[in-house]
Chains A and B, each alone.
Chain A
Amino acid sequence: MSQPKINDFVVKFANINGSGSASANQLFAKSILRMGVPVSPRNIFPSNIQGLPTWYEVRISEAGYLGARGGVDLMVAMNPQTWDKDVLGIDPGGYLFYDSTKPLPKSKFREDVRVIGVPLTEICNLQYSDPRQRQLFRNIVYVGALAALLDIDIAEIEKLIGEQFKGKDKLIAPNITALHLGRDYAKTHFECPIGLSVRRASAVGDSIFIDGNTAAALGCVYGGATVAAWYPITPSSSLAEAFARQCRTYRQDALGNNRYAVIQAEDELASIGMVIGASWNGARAFTCTSGPGISLMQEFIGLAYFAEIPAVIFDVQRGGPSTGMPTRTQQADVLACAYASHGDTKHVLLFPEDPAESFDFAADAFDIAERLQTPVFVLLDLDIGMNDHLSRPLAWDDARRYDRGKVATFDDLDSGKEFGRYLDIDGDGITYRTYPGTHPSRGSFFTRGTTKDRYARYSEAGPDYMDNMQRLLRKFESAKELIPKPQVRSALQPSRLGVIYYGSTSPAMHEALDSLEQQGIHFDAMRIRAFPFHDQVEDFIATHDHVFVVEQNRDAQLRMLLVNECGVDPAKLTPVLHYDGTPITARFIVREIAEDAKALKVTPMRKVSP
Chain B
Amino acid sequence: MTYISKPKLHHPQLPANKLGFTRRDYEGAISTLCAGCGHDSISAAIIQACFELDLPPHRIAKLSGIGCSSKTPTYFLSSSHGFNSVHGRMPSVLTGANLANRELIYLGVSGDGDSASIGLGQFAHSLRRGVNMVYIVENNGVYGLTKGQFSATSDRGSKSKKGAVNTDTAIDMVLLAMELGATYVARSFSGDKAQLVPLIKGAILHRGAAFIDCISPCVAFNNHSGSTKSFDYVREHNEAVNQLDVMMPRETITADYAPGQVEEITQHDGSVLKLRKLAAEYDVHDRIAAMNYLQGRKAAGEIVTGVLHVDPEPEDLHAHLGTVASPFNKLGEKDLCPGGGALEKFNAAYR
> Chain A: residues with CB nearer than 8 A to chain B?
33, 206-210, 218, 221-222, 224, 226-227, 229, 250-251, 253, 256-263, 265-267, 269-283, 285, 299-300, 303, 393-398, 400-402, 434-441, 444-450, 457-459
Contacts and interface: CB of A to CB of B under 8 A. Distances in A.
Given A258-B321, A265-B125, 16 more contacts: A209-B350, A224-B331, A224-B332, A226-B328, A259-B324, A261-B323, A269-B92, A270-B95, A274-B95, A276-B85, A437-B58, A437-B103, A437-B104, A440-B56, A444-B80, A458-B2
A293 to B, nearest CB: 14
B99 interface: yes
Interface in B294-347: 318, 321-325, 328-329, 331-333, 335-340, 342-343, 346-347
Interface of B: 2-3, 56-59, 61, 63, 73-74, 78-86, 89, 91-101, 103-104, 121-122, 124-125, 129, 318, 321-325, 328-329, 331-333, 335-340, 342-343, 346-347, 350-351
A207 to B, nearest CB: 8
A379 to B, nearest CB: 23
22 contacts: A206-B347, A208-B351, A226-B328, A229-B92, A270-B92, A270-B122, A271-B92, A273-B86, A274-B93, A276-B96, A277-B63, A277-B94, A281-B96, A281-B97, A395-B343, A397-B340, A434-B81, A435-B329, A436-B104, A437-B58, A437-B61, A458-B2
Contacts of A262: 321
A435 B82 CA distance: 11
Nearest to B21: A440
Query: In the complex, which of the residues A250, A274, A435 has the most CB atoms of chain B within 10 Å of its own CB atom?
Result: A274
A436 B339 contact: no
Contacts of A257: 322-325
A229 B84 CA distance: 20
A300 B103 CA distance: 25
Given A270-B125, A437-B59, A259 B328 contact: yes
B100 A285 contact: yes
A450 B84 contact: yes
B328 A266 contact: no
Contacts of B101: 281-283, 435-437
Nearest to B58: A440
A525 to B, nearest CB: 29
A394 B83 contact: no
A394 B328 contact: no
Contact of A283 (B86, B91, B99): B99
The main secondary structure of chain B at its interface with chain A is helix
Contacts of B324: 253, 257-259
Contact of B96 (A208, A274, A444, A445): A274
A283 B104 contact: no
Contacts of B92: 229, 265, 269-274, 277
A585 B341 CA distance: 37
Nearest to B349: A208
User: Sorted from nearest, which 9 A-B pairs have the closest CB atoms?
Assistant: A277-B96, A273-B92, A282-B329, A283-B100, A436-B81, A274-B96, A281-B100, A278-B96, A277-B93
Contacts of B85: 273, 276-277, 303, 447, 449
A174 to B, nearest CB: 25
Given A224-B333, A266-B121, A439 B2 contact: no
A221 B321 CA distance: 17
A303 B325 CA distance: 30
A385 B93 CA distance: 28
Given A257-B322, A280-B83, A437-B103, A226 B336 contact: yes
Given A267-B121, A277-B94, A458-B74, A395 B86 contact: no
Query: In the complex, which of the residues B86, B104, B342 has the most CB atoms of chain A within 10 Å of its own CB atom?
Result: B86
Given A269-B89, A269-B92, A398 B321 contact: no
Given A273-B122, A394-B347, A437-B81, A227 B99 contact: yes
A300 B122 CA distance: 14
A227 B328 contact: yes
Contact of A401 (B95, B331, B333): B333
Contacts of B78: 444
A187 B346 CA distance: 38
B61 A436 contact: yes
A396 B350 contact: no
A498 B22 CA distance: 70
Contacts of A280: 83, 93, 96-97, 100
Given A436-B81, A438-B58, A447-B81, A261 B122 contact: no
Contacts of B99: 226-227, 261, 263, 274, 277-278, 283, 285
Given A398-B339, A398-B340, A437-B59, A277 B97 contact: yes
B136 to A, nearest CB: 17
Contacts of A274: 92-93, 95-96, 99
B2 A300 contact: no
Contact of B89 (A207, A273, A279, A444): A273
Query: In the complex, which of the residues B73, B80, B129, B336 has the most CB atoms of chain A within 10 Å of its own CB atom?
Result: B336
Nearest to B338: A250
Contacts of A449: 84-86
A206 B159 CA distance: 74
Query: In the complex, which of the residues B96, B122, B328, B351 has the most CB atoms of chain A within 10 Å of its own CB atom?
Result: B96
A210 to B, nearest CB: 5
A251 B321 CA distance: 13
A338 to B, nearest CB: 21
